[in-house]
């Protein structure tokens, strides 16, 4: 994977760039919609391409492994063919999902044994098997299998998980070197920085990952309930250590204002379920603030959903109509809100790139963040 930095902001660590994969070029900073089970919830693929203008999406190894299963994905020719998506895909390793199954998992040096949330059956993920699954999925960017700890955590638990993660990434690289690609193109492995909220562990992990020599690097174990200032502190610390000429991916983040703040700290790539999950609950993100579409104040507001929006749904439907859909529990409301939120996130990334290029990113960011946080 080739990564080129195009512009650097003189007042922050923000930069614009682009990386090339077998399925296309991605401009950074970028947000990746989450397509957990070969579907970005409530959004058609043509809407992702045309309205949202998604450049890259994310698939989930744990969920795709359970359903439809790697045999089906392999027979289909990989996830791109299976879901009719011809642009880049990134897959996570399953580590976060296994972490979330804390009551039904057991971690060892070999890997993680867990029970399926679907039928209670037992499974074992090792670094090698995570790579095999992601090989069959066929994503352009694949994540190393890692162990994370929630924040707060005991120091000795965070340190043990970090060292396990470091040993596992070596096993991931070894497996990939011994097993050729399945679909005629290379996959890029991103290792993951861990260390919880402990500065010395984050420094140690970031230095280890920086020396690993990957084509891109990820920051994991954040956006798990910690205060925003802790997330920003750790992100700034790690970005200052990771290679400047490689893309930096902050996993699972976040709100629109989180994205802008972390771009200023040097992050290039983001993903989060928030725009679609919150959309399905009636929450709309706009450049004027956050709207709850179930509120009675929108009942007779016939102005467009978002007059400044870039997607077709913003200019096709009124606030009153979308509110009606939500209070009537009509699925179309969830779809409209999901398309809007994703389009808003991608447009925010485009504007961020534009302001970095213009040289006024920090002024723009500082004006935008308090407005984006407003409750309308």
Catalytic residues: 92, 271
Residue with tokens 């089970």: 37
| Alpha-carbon gap, residue 145 to 94, rounded angstroms | 7
| Alpha-carbon gap, residue 177 to 155, rounded angstroms | 34
Please choose, from the candidates 262, 287, 291, the residue with its C-alpha nearest in 3D space to the C-alpha of residue 361.
262
| Alpha-carbon gap, residue 349 to 259, rounded angstroms | 8
Say if residues 56 and 87 touch (Cβ distance below 8 Å): yes
Residue 66: partners with Cβ closer than 8 Å, 6 or more residues away: 116, 118, 123
Q: Hey, which residues does 189 pair with through a beta bridge?
A: 142
Phi-psi region of 180 (alpha: psi -120 to 50; beta: other; left: phi over 0): beta
Nearest-5° Cα angle at 147, 142 to 150: 120
Residue with tokens 């961020």: 352
| 269-271 and 248-250 strand pairing | parallel
| Alpha-carbon gap, residue 191 to 217, rounded angstroms | 5
Peptide bond into 68 cis (omega under 30): yes
Which token pair is 341? 């939120």
DSSP H or E stretch at residue 260: helix 256-264
3-state secondary structure of 297: helix
Please spell the DSSP secondary structure of 311-326, one letter per residue: SHHHHHSBHHHHHHHH
Which token pair is 178? 């011994």
Please, where are the H alpha helices in 56-214?
Answer: 61-66, 70-76, 79-83, 95-100, 127-137, 155-178, 199-212
């Amino acid at each position: 994977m080739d990564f080129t930095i195009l512009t650097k902001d003189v007042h922050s660590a923000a930069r614009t760039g682009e990386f090339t994969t077998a399925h296309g070029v991605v401009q950074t900073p970028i947000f990746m919609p989450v397509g957990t089970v070969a579907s970005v919830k409530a959004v058609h693929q043509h809407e992702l391409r045309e309205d949202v203008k998604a450049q890259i999406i994310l698939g989930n190894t744990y969920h795709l492994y359970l359903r439809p299963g790697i045999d089906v994905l392999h027979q289909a020719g990989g996830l791109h063919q299976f879901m009719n998506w011809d642009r880049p895909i990134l897959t996570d390793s399953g580590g976060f999902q296994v972490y979330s199954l804390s009551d039904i998992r057991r971690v060892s040096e070999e890997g993680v044994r867990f029970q399926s949330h679907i039928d209670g059956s037992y499974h074992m993920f090792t670094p090698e098997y995570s790579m095999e699954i992601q090989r069959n999925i066929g994503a352009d960017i694949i994540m190393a299998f890692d162990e994370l700890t929630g924040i707060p955590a005991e120091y000795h638990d965070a340190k043990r998980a970090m060292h396990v993660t470091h040993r596992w990434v070596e096993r991931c690289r070894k497996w990939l070197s011994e097993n050729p690609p399945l679909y005629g193109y290379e996959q890029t492995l991103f290792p993951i920085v861990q260390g919880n909220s402990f500065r010395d562990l984050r420094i140690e992990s970031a230095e280890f990952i920086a020396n690993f020599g990957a084509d891109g690097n990820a920051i994991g174990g954040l956006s798990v309930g910690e205060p925003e200032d802790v997330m920003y502190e750790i992100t700034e610390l790690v970005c200052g250590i990771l290679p400047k000429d490689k893309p930096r991916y902050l996993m699972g983040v976040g709100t629109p204002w989180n994205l802008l703040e972390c771009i200023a700290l040097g992050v290039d790539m983001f993903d989060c379920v928030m725009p679609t999950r919150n959309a399905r609950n009636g929450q709309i993100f706009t450049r004027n603030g956050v709207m709850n579409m179930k509120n009675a104040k929108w009942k007779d507001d016939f102005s467009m959903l978002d007059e400044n929006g870039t997607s077709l749904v913003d200019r096709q439907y009124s606030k009153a109509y979308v509110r009606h859909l939500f209070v009537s529990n009509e699925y179309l409301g969830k779809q409209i809100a999901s398309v809007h939120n994703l389009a808003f996130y991608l447009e925010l990334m485009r504007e961020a790139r534009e302001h970095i290029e213009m040289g006024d990113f920090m002024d723009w960011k500082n004006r935008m963040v308090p407005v984006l946080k407003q409750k309308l």
